[in-house]
Amino acid sequence: MSVGTEAANLSADWAFPILDVFKIEIPSWGFANTGTRFGKFVQAAAASTVEEKFRDAAEVNRLTGSTPTMALHVLWDLPNGLADVEKVRGLEQSTSIRAGSINPNLFQDQEYKFGSLCNPSSSIRAHAVKHMIDSIEIAAALNSRDISLWLPDGSNYPGSQSIRRRIGFLEEALQESHSHLIEGQRLLVEYKPFEPAFYHTDIGDWGMALHLAKAAGPQAKVLVDTGHHYSGQNIEQIVAWLLHTNMLGGFHFNDRRYADDDLTLGSIDPYQVFRIFHEIHAASEEGLPLDVAFMIDQSHNLKGKMEAMVQTVVAAQELWLKAASVDCEELAHLQAKCELVAAEELFRRAFWQDVRPLLAEWRAARGLPADPLAALACGGYVERITKERSGKQSTGGSYA
């Protein structure tokens, strides 16, 4: 939305409609005890059941107004598959939080040691494809649109696997999975350059994911996890390419200093998120067809889970509004005339302005606490769940 001279024009009439439609999905696993390969620091308030995760998500949405859906990981949240759908439906009713993207788990089973959809063994690939189809059916039963696929598949030593043969296995498996999608569903293909594999990863970058999504079928798109890039990579350029090719399906937002650190959004490089959000706003201003799911994918190993999640949503709201205030028309004009400094200054000014007072005004107008994090701190929710859940936490395992 063109606003001319930014700050002065950041009116409620301009900001409120933008904030009213801004939605970001939270990950169920963000509320659970998670760790690293060096261990897990257990938090008494952490959620360990899908009920508790839905309740925590409802509290985040009550405080922020921007998180009506929660992403689910199949084996973590629906361990009995389709048999757990009714329970999840009941939780949707009782918490007004809807099940969001459905994430298959193709990284826990022992038999996936040498891969899941890319495994040289056809029977193991068939088992993995079965889990994909189960995940698609669960999504259909929950009216969830997106099946969000991440694969750890890869190898650790040169010569130990055929990179090219595994591409064939993957194309086949994704085409088979795509053929089970119902109308309106999407298969989001997430790429990651390394970890847990440290020599090659089968879906290692955006180009591979784009090819595989196109080869799978028209309902497949690419998912950009901001933590899944080499440190020198220009993520907003990748986003521009995926927008240009109409292959951008969604994001997993988090932040990082080094690798896939899964830190809270905007905690290390808020300007990175601002630059990504700008690409989305600019594309929408130019009328590009946009259907981009915003999701958070973080593991809160040290911060309180609720605090970290509320902090993340607030940071996302702030950066989305800042980016929306860039006068794209004026910027395009300056870019066309190569007025580099004027263009950069217009861009930077939008990033540096303080939108928090306007956000507080919007929250007050929508019956939300002006400062969600402060409201969480004094609302007693964390104390309540700490009491209810203490003693239930296990130290075993590193994830969820």
CB 154 within 8 A of CB 195: no
How far, CA to CA in Å, does 119 sit from each of 87, 123, 161, 190, 194?
Answer: 33, 9, 9, 18, 17
Binding status of residue 327 toward Mn ion by CB under 5 A: no
Binding status of residue 347 toward ligand LRH by CB under 6 A: no
Binding status of residue 146 toward ligand LRH by CB under 6 A: no
- Least distance (Å) from Mn ion to the CB of residue 276? 15
Size of the site for ligand LRH (CB under 6 A): 9
The torsion angles phi and psi of 95, rounded to 5 degrees, stand at: -115, -10
Binding status of residue 29 toward ligand LRH by CB under 6 A: yes
Structure tokens at 204: 């290692």
Return the number of the residue (28 or 325) whose C-beta is nearest ligand LRH.
28
How far, CA to CA in Å, does 363 sit from each of 15, 21, 36, 273, 275?
Answer: 11, 13, 36, 22, 25
Q: Binding partner of residue 260 among Mn ion, ligand LRH, none, CB under 5 to 8 Å per kind?
A: ligand LRH
Closest CA to 296 of 278, 319, 323: 319
Return the number of the residue (61 or 254) whose C-beta is nearest Mn ion.
254
Amino acid, res. 176: E
Other CB atoms closer than 10 Å to residue 341's CB: what's the count?
Answer: 8
- Least distance (Å) from Mn ion to the CB of residue 90? 28
Positive/negative CA dihedral, 150, 305, 236, 147:
positive
Binding status of residue 279 toward ligand LRH by CB under 6 A: no
Asked, as a colleague might, if the bond just before 196 is cis with ω within 30 of 0, I would say yes
- Least distance (Å) from Mn ion to the CB of residue 320? 19
Of 100-108, 109-117, 291-299, 361-369, which segment contacts Mn ion by CB under 5 A? 291-299
Of these, 145, 221, 252, 300, which contacts ligand LRH (CB under 6 A)?
A: 252
Backbone angle region of 246, left / alpha / beta, with phi > 0 → left and psi within -120 to 50 → alpha: left
Closest CA to 100 of 34, 29, 178: 29
Amino acid, res. 369: P
Binding status of residue 192 toward Mn ion by CB under 5 A: no
Return the number of the residue (65 or 152) whose C-beta is nearest ligand LRH.
152
CB 353 within 8 A of CB 6: yes
Of 122-130, 257-265, 292-300, 381-389, which segment contacts Mn ion by CB under 5 A? 292-300
Dihedral (Cα; 176, 182, 186, 190), 10-degree rounding: -30
Q: x-or-dash pattern for ligand LRH, window 149-178, by CB under 6 A?
A: -x----------------------------
Query: Any idea what DSSP says for residue 160?
Result: S
Which residues in the 178-207 window bind ligand LRH by CB under 6 A?
190, 192
Q: x-or-dash pattern for Mn ion, window 212-231, by CB under 5 A?
A: -------------x------
Structure tokens at 2: 């063109």
Name the residue whose CB lies closest to ligand LRH: 150
- Least distance (Å) from ligand LRH to the CB of residue 263? 13
Return the number of the residue (52 or 318) whose C-beta is nearest ligand LRH.
52
CB 306 within 8 A of CB 59: yes
Binding status of residue 297 toward Mn ion by CB under 5 A: yes
Binding status of residue 225 toward ligand LRH by CB under 6 A: yes
Q: Binding partner of residue 318 among Mn ion, ligand LRH, none, CB under 5 to 8 Å per kind?
A: none
- Least distance (Å) from ligand LRH to the CB of residue 93? 26
The SS3 assignment for 264 reads coil
Return the number of the residue (56 or 318) whose C-beta is nearest ligand LRH.
56
Return the number of the residue (103 or 325) whose C-beta is nearest ligand LRH.
103
Binding status of residue 255 toward Mn ion by CB under 5 A: no
Closest CA to 397 of 1, 140, 35, 19: 35
Structure tokens at 208: 């591979």
Query: Any idea what DSSP says for residue 97?
Result: P
Task: State the residues that interact with Mn ion by CB under 5 A.
Answer: 225, 252, 297
Task: State the residues that interact with ligand LRH by CB under 6 A.
Answer: 29, 103, 150, 190, 192, 225, 252, 260, 297
